[in-house]
Structure 1
Amino acid sequence: MRKYQKPTEADLPTRVMKNRLTRYVVLVLAALVVWIVIQIFKVSVTEADKWQELANSQQVRSTVTPASRGTIYDTNGQVLAQSATVYTVYVDPVMLWKDYLEKNDERIKELKELIAKGGDRDKIEGYQKKLDSIKPSDRAFPELVEFLATTLGVEPEKVRGYCTNKESRYEIIKKNVEKAAAVKIENYLTEEGLDGVRCEPGTKRFYPQGALAANVIGHLSYDGDGIYGLEAYYDDTLRGIDGRVITATARDGTEIPYRYRQSYEAQDGNSLILNVDVNIQYQLEKALDKAVKKTNPHDRACGIIMDPNTGAIRAMATNFSYDPNAPAVITDNKTAAQLAGLDENSKEYKKIELDAWSLQWKNKAISELYNPGSVFKVITGSSALEEQAITLDDTFVCNTFIQVADTRMHCWSNIDHGAQNLYDAMTNSCNPAFVQIGQRLGVENFCKFFKSYGFTERTGIDLPGEADAIYHSAENMSLVDLAASSFGQSNKITPIQMITAYAAAINGGYLVTPQVVDKVVDPKGNVIRDVEPVIKRQVISAATSETMRKILENVVVSEPDSNSYVKGYHIGGKSGTSQKLDEDVTGNTYVGSYCAFAPADDPQVIMLVMIDHPTGAEFYGSEIAAPVCVEILSEILPYMGYFPQYTEAELENLQVKVPGMEFNAVDKAKKTLDEMGLKYIVQGNGETVLKQVPSSGSVEKGSTVILYTEEGYSEKLVTVPNLRGLTKKEAKLALEGRGLNLSALGNDTDAEDAKAEGDQNYAPETVIPEGTVVSVTFSSGVIGSQ
C-alpha cells in the first residue's frame, strides 16, 4: 500500500502565483461582464428596432390589400384599359402539415371510438385509408393536390412539390386566378378546414379594345409596373396605394382571433380621360393597315391626328403594333417565322426576341427620327415670309437642278419649272426654288426659326420615349447643309415634332404642346386635374399663317385629279418624299409622308401619315401617304360634324348610295329612287318590292335598280365585259349596255384621261344578275408633287 507523502515546501504555490491567478480570473470575469453589458445595450438601444421588428414579425401577420389601378378612357368614355380583381393561390407547407396532422389526430380518436363500440368494419377500413393518405410522404395530400391541379390547370406533380416543401412558408401555385376559381378553392378549403392554402387578392390589367392605340396606351410589366405608353408616363397617378391588414399570430403562424387587428384601406388609383377618340383612332389604324399591306414598308409606318389649335391628340398609331393583353406575342410574321426555326434557349433566339419586343412596343410617331422631306417646305416658306426675306411676288427659277458650292441638287421632277412664285413653288414642290428661298433666309435666320418651331427641343407630349432631333446648329451649318435643310433633307426629326410645327404654321402661328390626356379623375369620378392647352410661343404672325393656309389649300385645289383631293371639302396639304441616307442603308430607299388639315380656312384637325422605306414600286408621299389621309378625312370629317359641300361639277359626277327598298311599296320605291337620280325597272305586277339588285353599294347617278315584286321571278343573267383601258364614260356605257351599274374607285375618277387599271370586282366574262354593281378602279397617272 502506497503511503501518503506530505508535499515539500517547494511543491506549494507561492503567494505570487496565487495573486497572479486571482488577477487572471478577475480580468476574465470583468471582460465577460463588459461583453454582457455591451450586448444588452445593443439589443435594448442600438439594435432595438431590429429586434423589435423581428419579434413583431413572429407575432403579427401583415397582408397586403392591393389598390385597384385607375382606368383609362377615351374622350367618349370608352374603356381602353382597366383592372379587375384576380388572385394568387399559394400554400404554406408548414401550416398545411399542421392542418393534416391535426386532422390525423381527430381521425385516430374517431377510429378508436369506432373500434371500442365494435363499429362497422367497412367504415373502420375507410377511416384507415384516410389516415394512410395523410401520412407524411412524397404522395401526401392526394385529394387536395388533385383538386388544385384540376381547378387551376397546373400539373399535379408541381402542386405536390409545392405542398411538400416543408422548408418554405410561401409557395406560389398560380398567379392571376379568376374570381370564380378562387371562390371554388375558398369553399373547398372551408369545407376541409384547411388554413395552409390561401387565395391572395390582386389585380390584373385588361385592354378591352385589344391592339387599338396600343403604342399610346402601353402595358404593364409582370410585376404590375407601367413600362410603355401612358401606363408608364402616368404610372404614379394610376397605381394607387396598397392597403394592409395586420393581425396577431401564434407561434405556429396561425391567426389569433380577437387579439389584435389593424386595417389600412387601399387607396385606388386615379383614372385618365384622353383626348383620343376611338372612332377616329379606328379609322386611322384601318387606313394605315391598308397602306402597309400595299406598300410593305421595311421600317413600319405611323400616323398622328391632332387638333392644331390645342394640341389634343385625337389618334396616334404605329403599324405594326401589338396587343397589350399579350405583349410578348411577336406580331411581325417574318420575325415569328425566324424564331420558330431556332432553339428557344439559344442566345440568338433571346436577342431576336428582345429586339422584336422593343420594336413592336416602340411608338414610332415619337421615338424614331426621319428626314421630313418636302413637308418641311412649309416651315422654310413660312419662315422666309415672316422674316420678309421673300414676298409673294418674288420668283424662283428651276432648271431641274441648282448648283450649291461643289454640290448639284436636283429637283424631284425632270420637268423644268421655270420661274415660280411661292404658290407655284409649293404646288410643284420644287427643290431648287426652296434652296433659293433658304439662301435668302440665311443660316442664322433659318436656325432661328428652326428653333422657334420647336425642332431643337422635345415637344413635351405626355408619353415616354420621345427622341431628340439631330440637326445642324448655326455654328456648323454649311451652305450645302442649309440648301439640303431647306427642302427637308439633312436634319432628322420626329413625326410629332413635324406635325406640331406644321400646326403652328396654319393655326395662327402658335406652337402648342401635344397632349394625350385631357383630364385626371379620382376613383369617385371627380376631376382633380383638367389639362389645359399649353401655348409655348407665337412663331409667325396670324397674317403669315393665313397666307400659308391659302398656299397649302392651293396645292390641293390646283390638282383636283391628284391623290390628295377630297370631294366636297376644302383641305390643305403637302406631301414629302425624303431619301434615307443613314450609314446602314444601302441603295435608294425613301420615306413617303403627307400632312393635311381641314377645313382649310379654319383648321380643326391636322393629320400626318408617314410610311418608312416602302418596298413596292411606288414611294412618293403623294402616291402612298396622301390617299391614306384622304380616306381618313372622308370618314372622320362627317363624324366631327363637317359635312361635304359639293360644287356643281362634283355633283354631276357624284356617286350615290343605293337605298334599301325591299318590303316597301313600289310607288314609294319609285319616288325615292327618282329623288336620288337613279333609274329603275320593275319586274312583275306586285305592289311591294320583294328584292332589288343592287341591294346596296355606291353607284353613278343615272344607274338602274331592278325591283322584283313577285315571288319566284327569275333574275336575268348577263356577262361582265372587260373594262381595262376604258375611260369612266366608256366603261359606264359598256356596262349600261348589259344592264349593269358602275362604281368608280380611285381619287382621280373625274379626270378626262383617267382609265380603268384593270382592277374590277367581277372578272371579265363572269355571269352575274342584271343590275349588279361592277366596281372599277380608275387612274390618270397624275400624282401631283412629291
Structure 2
Amino acid sequence: MKERQTSTNRKSVKKANKLGRLLLILFVFAGIFGGLFFRIGYIKTVHGEEYSQKVKQHRVAQSDSVISAMRGSILDRNGNILAESTRVYNVILDSKVIREAGEEKMNATVEALCTNLEIEEEAVTQYLTEEYANSRYKRLPEGRKISASVKEKLEKAISDGKAIGYWFEDEEQRSYPNDSLAAHVLGFNGNYGVEQVYNEYMVGTPGRQMIVSSEDGSYVEEYIAAQDGANLTLTLDETIQYYMEETLLETMVELNCLHASAIAMNPKTGEVLGLVNYPSFNLNNSQEVIGITDKYTSYYPDPNADEYYQEIWKNFAVNDGYQPGSTYKPIFASIALEEASIGTGTSFVCNGWMNFYDRTIHCAYSKVHGTETIREIIKNSCNVGMTQISEKLGKTAYLKYQDAFGIGQYTGIDLVGEAAGIIYTEETMGPVELATTSYGQGFNVTPIQLITAFSAVINGGELLQPYVVKQVTDPSGNLILQNDKTVVRYPISKETSSKMKEYLKDVVEDGSGEAAAIAGYEIGGKTGTAQKGVYEEKKYIASFIGFAPIDDPEIVLLVILDESDNTASKQAAECAGKMLKKILPYMNIYPNTEE
C-alpha cells in the first residue's frame, strides 16, 4: 500500500515539472513576439515614411529573356561565305520610367531614339501616353533588328545622362550573301539542305539575359553568353556553282523546260562541286522564285496552292527519280564487259529495229547502224545493239551488278529527302525488261544516283559515297567532324573502266555527244533521251553526262532538261559543253593548243 502511494507521488511531481517547462517556453515566445510587434510598431511610427519611400524607389521591373545562339556559318571549299548569322538588337521601352522621369528627360529620350533610329517622334511618343502609363516592356517596332553600331549610340545617350528608360534584346539575323546561289544545297533557316541535315551542330547553346530596372531609370543586367553554333565547310566551289547556275538558267528559259538540274562531282572522291535545280528561289526570301517558265506555270498555276513552293524548294537532283535513257548505256555495257558476256571484238547487227518477244525495238529515228562492236554501239547510242547485249548478259548477272553499282539504293549523300528510285527485281524483270533497262527505260534512278554510278565507270571502278559537307568546325576553328572519300564497293575493274573511257571519248568526238566538244580538250560522255510518264503523251527528259580529262578525270558533269520544247539530247550536251568551257580553265585544266 505504501509503495503504491509513493509511485503516485512520483508521477505527480513529473507532471508538475512538464507543466512548468511548458509555461516557461510559452513565456519566452510571448516575449519574443511582443518585442517584434513593438519593433514593427516603432519602425512604422518613427521611420515608416522614410522606409516606404526607399521601397518605392527600389521597386523593380524584371525581364528574363533567352539569348539565341548565333547559328553557324556555311562556307564553300575555298572559305567564301554562303550563309551567315549576325547579331542584331531590338529596342525595348520602359514607358513607366520614361514618363515618370519628367518632361525634360522624356523629351531628351525621345530625341535620342528618333535621331539614332531615324524615325519620327510619333513612332515613340505613341507608347508614352496614358495608355502605357504602367508599361514596363514595349518592343519598339521601328527599333527592330538594329545594328551593333546603332545600339552603341543609343547606349551612349543613356551613359551620358541624355536618355533613360530603354534597353535591348538580342536577336539573330540569318542572311545569304549570294541570294539564290546553291539554294537547294544550303536550305534556309534550319530547313532543307545542309541547314537541316547538320542543324544539331549549327544551332549552338542559348544564353540568358535578365534586366532589372529601378524607379530612377538605372539597370542591373545578368548576362550568360550564348555559345555559337558550328560552321560548315562545303565541298561546293562558289565559282563552279555560279557557272553552272548561269548556264543552266539560260538553257532552261530558252527551251521552256519544266525542270532542269545539273550536278558536278569529283569522280575521284565523291565531293559534289556544284548542284543546281530550276526553278529555284532566293534564300533571303524563299517565296521569291527564279526560273519559272510557261511550262512550269501550266503545271502549277496557283502560287497560293500548298504544293507550289514545296515543289520549288524540293531538291530534284536528290529527291526525284527519272528514266535515265541512254546515259545508262555505259553502266550496262561495263557490266557486260566485266562479266565477259561480250568481248571488245564481239559483233552485233543493227537494221534500225528488231522484233523482241512482244515488242518492236527501234533505234532513234530508226537509223541503221549495220555491224557494230560494243565501242560502236556506245558511240551510235544503238538500242538494238544494247538489246542484243542484254540477251548475252542475262538477268541474274545483271541484277548482281545492279546492286554493286548502287542502282535502286540510297547513295547516302548528306542532303534531305534522298529517294532510292524504282527498279526491276528478280520477280519483275523478264527479258523485255532487261532489254529496256539496257538503254535506260522502264525504271527510275535519281540524278545523284546516276552520276555516282557513272563515276565508278570512269574512275577505275570505285563506287563512292557522294557528299557536300567537307568538315564541321567550332567557332574557334577546332575540327568537330571530317568527311572524306568513302569507297562503298568496286563494281568493275580498272581494265573495264579504261575501255569505257575510250568508248565515251568517241561519243563526244564523233558521236551523239558532239555538241559537248571543246577545242583542245579530250572529253568523254553520253547523251540520253527518255520518255516519261505514259509513253503516248510524248514527254521527254533530255540529258548528258560527261567528264574530263579522259586519262585522269577531275570532274564529271550531269545535265538534265525535263520536258524541254526541243526533245533532242543535243541541247543537254551543248549546255554541258558551255559549263565545262568555263569550269575547266578555272580548275587549271587547260586545252592542248596543238589540238
TM superposition shift of 1:167: 9.2
Kept after mapping to 2: 8 A contact 1:64/1:242 = yes
Letter of the structure 1 residue corresponding to residue 101 of structure 2: K
Q: Does 1:614 align with 2:568?
A: no
Which residue among 552, 573, 588 is the counterpart of 1:626? Answer: 573
Kept after mapping to 2: 8 A contact 1:162/1:171 = no
TM superposition shift of 1:247: 6.4
- Separation in 1, partners of 2:128, 2:192: 34
1:151 aligned partner: 117
Structure 1 pair 576–327 and aligned structure 2 pair: CA distance change class (3 A): same
1:215 aligned partner: 184
2:3 aligned partner: none
- Separation in 1, partners of 2:354, 2:512: 30
Q: Does 1:472 align with 2:424?
A: yes
Kept after mapping to 2: 8 A contact 1:565/1:630 = yes
- Separation in 2, partners of 1:442, 1:155: 83
After the TM superposition, which residues 126-165 of structure 1 pair with which residues of structure 2 at under 5 Å, given as runs?
144=110, 151=117, 160=126, 164=131
- Separation in 1, partners of 2:125, 2:416: 41
Letter of the structure 1 residue corresponding to residue 177 of structure 2: P
SS in 2 for 1:176: coil
Kindly report the root-mean-square deviation, in angstroms, between the aligned alpha carbons of the 2 structures. 3.4
Structure 1 pair 69–416 and aligned structure 2 pair: CA distance change class (3 A): same
Unpaired runs of 5+ residues, structure 1, are: 1-57, 108-126, 135-140, 221-225, 343-347, 651-786
2:173 aligned partner: 204
Letter of the structure 2 residue corresponding to residue 228 of structure 1: Y
Structure 1 pair 160–360 and aligned structure 2 pair: CA distance change class (3 A): farther
Letter of the structure 1 residue corresponding to residue 590 of structure 2: F
SS in 1 for 2:583: helix
Which residue among 63, 66, 78 is the counterpart of 1:64? Answer: 66
Q: Does 1:307 align with 2:255?
A: no
2:31 aligned partner: none
Kept after mapping to 2: 8 A contact 1:240/1:270 = yes
1:412 aligned partner: 364
Kept after mapping to 1: 8 A contact 2:380/2:512 = no
Kept after mapping to 2: 8 A contact 1:145/1:159 = no
1:268 aligned partner: 228
Q: Does 1:231 align with 2:198?
A: no
After the TM superposition, which residues 553-572 of structure 1 pair with which residues of structure 2 at under 5 Å, given as runs?
553-559=505-511, 562-572=514-524
Letter of the structure 1 residue corresponding to residue 263 of structure 2: I
- Separation in 1, partners of 2:572, 2:179: 25
- Separation in 2, partners of 1:594, 1:556: 11
After the TM superposition, which residues 199-598 of structure 1 pair with which residues of structure 2 at under 5 Å, given as runs?
199-220=168-189, 226-246=190-210, 257=220, 263-297=223-257, 299-332=258-291, 350-351=304-305, 354-559=306-511, 562-582=514-534, 587-598=537-548
Kept after mapping to 2: 8 A contact 1:83/1:203 = yes
Q: Does 1:637 align with 2:595?
A: no
Based on CA coordinates, which of the two structures has the bigger radius of gyration?
1
SS in 1 for 2:560: strand
Q: Does 1:179 align with 2:181?
A: no
Structure 1 pair 442–172 and aligned structure 2 pair: CA distance change class (3 A): farther
- Separation in 2, partners of 1:180, 1:278: 31
Structure 1 pair 169–589 and aligned structure 2 pair: CA distance change class (3 A): farther
1:34 aligned partner: none
- Separation in 2, partners of 1:176, 1:378: 55
TM superposition shift of 1:171: 4.5
- Separation in 2, partners of 1:155, 1:273: 46
TM superposition shift of 1:144: 4.1
- Separation in 1, partners of 2:265, 2:216: 58
TM superposition shift of 1:530: 2.5
SS in 2 for 1:607: strand
Letter of the structure 2 residue corresponding to residue 556 of structure 1: V
Kept after mapping to 1: 8 A contact 2:507/2:524 = yes
Kept after mapping to 1: 8 A contact 2:281/2:313 = yes
- Separation in 2, partners of 1:449, 1:601: 25
Structure 1 pair 349–316 and aligned structure 2 pair: CA distance change class (3 A): closer
- Separation in 2, partners of 1:458, 1:586: 31
- Separation in 1, partners of 2:355, 2:216: 86
Letter of the structure 2 residue corresponding to residue 597 of structure 1: F
Superimposed CA distance per residue, residues 288-331 of structure 1 (whole angstroms, 9 cap, x where no aligned partner): 1222232121x221111111010011111112322212222233
- Separation in 2, partners of 1:303, 1:358: 20
- Separation in 2, partners of 1:329, 1:142: 42
Please say which of residues 303-312 and 563-572 is displaced more in the overlay: 563-572
- Separation in 2, partners of 1:645, 1:445: 41
TM superposition shift of 1:169: 6.1
1:119 aligned partner: none
Kept after mapping to 1: 8 A contact 2:202/2:229 = yes
TM-score w.r.t. the length of structure 1 is 0.62
Superimposed CA distance per residue, residues 92-128 of structure 1 (whole angstroms, 9 cap, x where no aligned partner): xxx422441x325xx6xxxxxxxxxxxxxxxxxxx8x
Kept after mapping to 2: 8 A contact 1:399/1:416 = yes
TM superposition shift of 1:577: 0.6
TM superposition shift of 1:242: 1.6
Letter of the structure 2 residue corresponding to residue 492 of structure 1: N
TM superposition shift of 1:569: 1.5
Letter of the structure 2 residue corresponding to residue 194 of structure 1: I
Superimposed CA distance per residue, residues 550-584 of structure 1 (whole angstroms, 9 cap, x where no aligned partner): 211122233499313222122211110111125xx
* Count of aligned pairs between the two proteins: 530
Superimposed CA distance per residue, residues 658-692 of structure 1 (whole angstroms, 9 cap, x where no aligned partner): xxxxxxxxxxxxxxxxxxxxxxxxxxxxxxxxxxx
Letter of the structure 1 residue corresponding to residue 530 of structure 2: S
Kept after mapping to 1: 8 A contact 2:87/2:148 = yes
SS in 2 for 1:308: coil
SS in 2 for 1:327: strand
Unpaired runs of 5+ residues, structure 2, are: 1-59
SS in 1 for 2:366: coil
- Separation in 2, partners of 1:337, 1:640: 34
Letter of the structure 2 residue corresponding to residue 613 of structure 1: E
The structure with more helix, counted as a fraction of residues: 2
Which residue among 553, 557, 563 is the counterpart of 1:603? Answer: 553
Letter of the structure 2 residue corresponding to residue 610 of structure 1: I
Structure 1 pair 562–521 and aligned structure 2 pair: CA distance change class (3 A): same
After the TM superposition, which residues 10-159 of structure 1 pair with which residues of structure 2 at under 5 Å, given as runs?
61-91=63-93, 95-100=94-99, 102-104=100-102, 144=110, 151=117
Structure 1 pair 169–396 and aligned structure 2 pair: CA distance change class (3 A): farther
Structure 1 pair 465–142 and aligned structure 2 pair: CA distance change class (3 A): farther
- Separation in 2, partners of 1:337, 1:525: 44
Letter of the structure 1 residue corresponding to residue 182 of structure 2: A
- Separation in 1, partners of 2:529, 2:90: 53
Please say which of residues 562-571 and 483-492 is displaced more in the overlay: 562-571
Higher relative contact order (CA 8 A, sep 6+): 2
SS in 2 for 1:322: strand
TM superposition shift of 1:644: 1.4
Kept after mapping to 1: 8 A contact 2:327/2:440 = yes
Structure 1 pair 150–388 and aligned structure 2 pair: CA distance change class (3 A): same
Superimposed CA distance per residue, residues 176-222 of structure 1 (whole angstroms, 9 cap, x where no aligned partner): 33334444544556656433x432122212222222212211211xx
Letter of the structure 1 residue corresponding to residue 456 of structure 2: A
Letter of the structure 2 residue corresponding to residue 291 of structure 1: T
SS in 1 for 2:321: coil
- Separation in 2, partners of 1:403, 1:484: 13
SS in 1 for 2:82: strand
Q: Once the two structures are aligned, what percentage of the paired residues are identical? A: 33
TM-score w.r.t. the length of structure 2 is 0.81
TM superposition shift of 1:454: 1.1
TM superposition shift of 1:231: 1.4
Structure 1 pair 395–202 and aligned structure 2 pair: CA distance change class (3 A): same
TM superposition shift of 1:431: 0.7
Kept after mapping to 2: 8 A contact 1:580/1:591 = yes
